[in-house]
Structure 1
């Protein structure tokens, strides 16, 4: 009997050792993963590592390990992999640690983020609030974990269009997170970036700029202590890129160009010459060159961005389609219409495939294709494209959205080119009404549309005189 028990014990130990070896092997494969370059093999490694980790790690150690290992997958929105594991982990934490434990709060916080990204906002709110209550009760109100949940609540309330509550939670988060700033804990920088996006959305660009610059100041202090810290450099590059976008929107194009250049230099230092982050910054800088009529430079950067994405296998991606669409616009400016047509068509196919046929981004490319066919004098091809774009915008954004007004203006121009003046007048007037309500009579869009209508009236007067 004793020998049987010993055999069972030895077998159990052997099995446990096998789990440990397999866990360590899969866990090694998860080291230093790039969120934007994850592969199906990486997803399998995470699942297998978790399966074996359950056999060799205690409940608190398991939660801590998984949250760290899952971060790249979290940042890449790999929800189909993370959601079932987080749900299993939550059941385990409640059972083994108790429903009010810090470990349970950590899982609730992670699961809340998944639900937020999936659009299940009310469910996310319940999880975050529960995590916050547990963390404040068990860890204290002045702990970095508490600050992290407050920041998550800030972004959730912002998404839920509850701006006052969002700002309240962001400020509460910052008060805590600033005390724990380090290369390992960049919660403060993340919250400052989120607040900058908040103010950007509230059309307070100066406040947004202030928060981006504040974040960069903190990152600069950390770089002085650890000049080669990869995480600090990556956050610095990301913040510089975000600031570049804002400055570009504010019309501060020289400053924006400088920030993009700084971001690119850092990104090439961190990632080498080929990475999705580099492709994104190149696209942003190319757009700035397009806006300042430096079409050759824009073409070079858009083309390089596309080459990077193609080499990395990122062609089925919204950002790739956007770059195709924008590069087509450059070719239009250079009167290379056949090349523009090829790129717009490819962008449209990708957007329809990954976003669905009725997405506003699809309508943008339809509008662009319609405009190109109008330039080429192929009115019969342009008309259904404009009409479909208009229908998508009306159904998804509402009949009074500015994009509806812009499309009505384009459609009016087409009918004017076709000699259908009465239809064109009706469409111009509808466009003017929408654009004036949204932007006011001094906005460039309003002035362009009004001038189009006045020009049509003058054209009709001349034809009557003749």
Structure 2
């Protein structure tokens, strides 16, 4: 027993000594230290993985976003949350989300923005600049998703936060005002839209520099606003103001690629406007300037180059320079094919336009082949009931009418008309032009009474929208008059 007690005592002493040493180190503190090391290792792993995905996100072109890029953004975000403070996280994400924002990758961005909003509201507060930044981005996504009421709610909340921050005015406030201008335009609240654009421009001009082009964006947006109001002179004035600002900025930094890119985009936009105004020589000059800048900034094989080539080709088509149009449309298609952008609405548009050139050159089989490809792409990408699908159906119908294949033309026109009436409304101008074409088909089939009724319906729609002096009205009226004259001649016989 004694021996046992002694042994027990030794064990107790041993335990006490161990206990004293443990107390010296503190077992709980040891656990904390171990956890700290684990956290350090984990953070290092997050940083390593973040940098790997971040590398993939450098210098992304919105026109060339791939599914792999979308995965990289989502993965980078997962790791960024672990290594950045909320303020840094917002700054990083706002920059990295921009190309995805412009490439309409809404399904990718929406859940990330929603998660980010929860993070910043909790950590920086619901009235912080970071919260306003996330709200602004989230609102933009809802706007492009055509959920305008939700977008308005978020934009107004972002604006309120930004206007209440010290050191006003701030460029961020101007940016939100400009975004609201777009939203109100889409909501057909035009007076409010113009008011917001004006307020935005006043602020953004104060902060204009090669790294802050908010004023240029707002001037372009205002130009499109006036274009929508059919005030092309006002739109042209806005584009000119934007170009003057960009020219001054390029004088400061001649090789700034962002400035050159914006200048090329504005020149292209202005070319479209001038072309619609009938100022074709000026439009051609603007397109030429845009192409030169785009090739310098992006290289000769880029979607922006393809788009401007497409616009210039359309101008050549309108001026019956079919060979030049053919070359440029073909070049545009080749660029998009090399970039793998064949499942794209822009590619379908170019196919559709090139088909029109082949119709003019009498190469109807080639035209039909291109219309068919364009239709298949548009149906896959946009769905079977989109107005762009109707455009190609209309064109195919017209080609079959020219070929005298009336039975093939009739269902195409009928389907196009149904799409337009359903999506755009029964009094939309595209309904009127399709009715004109359908009337022409019935005339070709010898169904004169049906043709007259349809021509008259088309005239009524086109006159209400465009007025009696518009070329579309005059074309339809002349078609109707021509039919009456044809019927009168047949009666005399």
What interval of TM-score do these two structures reach, taking the shorter chain for normalisation?
over 0.9
Task: Select 1:435's aligned residue among 459, 462, 472.
Answer: 462
Q: Does 1:266 align with 2:287?
A: no
SS of aligned partner of 2:60? coil
Give the stretch that moved more between structures: 349-358 or 184-193: 349-358
Task: Select 2:157's aligned residue among 100, 125, 130.
Answer: 130
Q: Name 1:214's counterpart in structure 2.
A: 241
Q: Does 1:145 align with 2:179?
A: no
Is the 1:147–1:172 Cα contact (8 Å) retained in structure 2? Answer: yes
- Distance change (3 Å), C-alpha of 1:5 and 1:409: closer
Is the 1:102–1:139 Cα contact (8 Å) retained in structure 2? Answer: no
Is the 1:26–1:46 Cα contact (8 Å) retained in structure 2? Answer: yes
Q: Does 1:79 align with 2:106?
A: yes
Shift of the alpha carbon at 1:437? 2.0
CA shift digits 1:32-90 (9 cap, x unpaired): 11111112221122111111111111111111111111111111111111111110110
Rg (Cα) greater in structure: 2
Q: Which runs of 5+ in 1 are unaligned?
A: none
Counterparts of 2:439 and 2:74 in 1: how far apart (Å)?
55
Give the stretch that moved more between structures: 347-356 or 203-212: 347-356
1:290-305 matched pairs, under 5 angstroms: 290-305=317-332
Counterparts of 2:437 and 2:66 in 1: how far apart (Å)?
43
Q: Does 1:345 align with 2:372?
A: yes
1:56-67 matched pairs, under 5 angstroms: 56-67=83-94
Give the stretch that moved more between structures: 408-417 or 170-179: 408-417
Shift of the alpha carbon at 1:156? 0.8
Q: Which runs of 4+ in 1 moved over 3 A?
A: 2-5
Counterparts of 1:187 and 1:457 in 2: how far apart (Å)?
57
SS of aligned partner of 2:164? helix
Q: Does 1:278 align with 2:305?
A: yes
Shift of the alpha carbon at 1:140? 4.2
Q: Does 1:423 align with 2:430?
A: no
Counterparts of 1:179 and 1:198 in 2: how far apart (Å)?
22
Counterparts of 1:443 and 1:176 in 2: how far apart (Å)?
40
Counterparts of 1:5 and 1:388 in 2: how far apart (Å)?
71
Q: Name 2:19's counterpart in structure 1.
A: none
Q: Does 1:453 align with 2:480?
A: yes
Counterparts of 2:329 and 2:370 in 1: how far apart (Å)?
12
Shift of the alpha carbon at 1:3? 4.0
Shift of the alpha carbon at 1:107? 0.6
Counterparts of 1:465 and 1:203 in 2: how far apart (Å)?
46
Task: Select 2:232's aligned residue among 176, 194, 205.
Answer: 205
1:365-444 matched pairs, under 5 angstroms: 365-444=392-471
Task: Select 1:321's aligned residue among 332, 345, 348.
Answer: 348
Counterparts of 1:324 and 1:446 in 2: how far apart (Å)?
28
Q: Which TM-score applies when normalising by structure 2? A: 0.93
Is the 1:140–1:146 Cα contact (8 Å) retained in structure 2? Answer: no
Cα RMSD after superposing both structures: 1.2
Counterparts of 1:185 and 1:301 in 2: how far apart (Å)?
34
Shift of the alpha carbon at 1:5? 3.4
Q: Which TM-score applies when normalising by structure 1? A: 0.98
- Distance change (3 Å), C-alpha of 1:12 and 1:438: closer
Is the 1:370–1:386 Cα contact (8 Å) retained in structure 2? Answer: yes
CA shift digits 1:85-119 (9 cap, x unpaired): 11011001111111111111111111111111111
Shift of the alpha carbon at 1:22? 1.8
Shift of the alpha carbon at 1:394? 1.6
Counterparts of 1:358 and 1:40 in 2: how far apart (Å)?
26
Q: Name 2:70's counterpart in structure 1.
A: 43
Q: Which runs of 5+ in 2 are unaligned?
A: 1-26
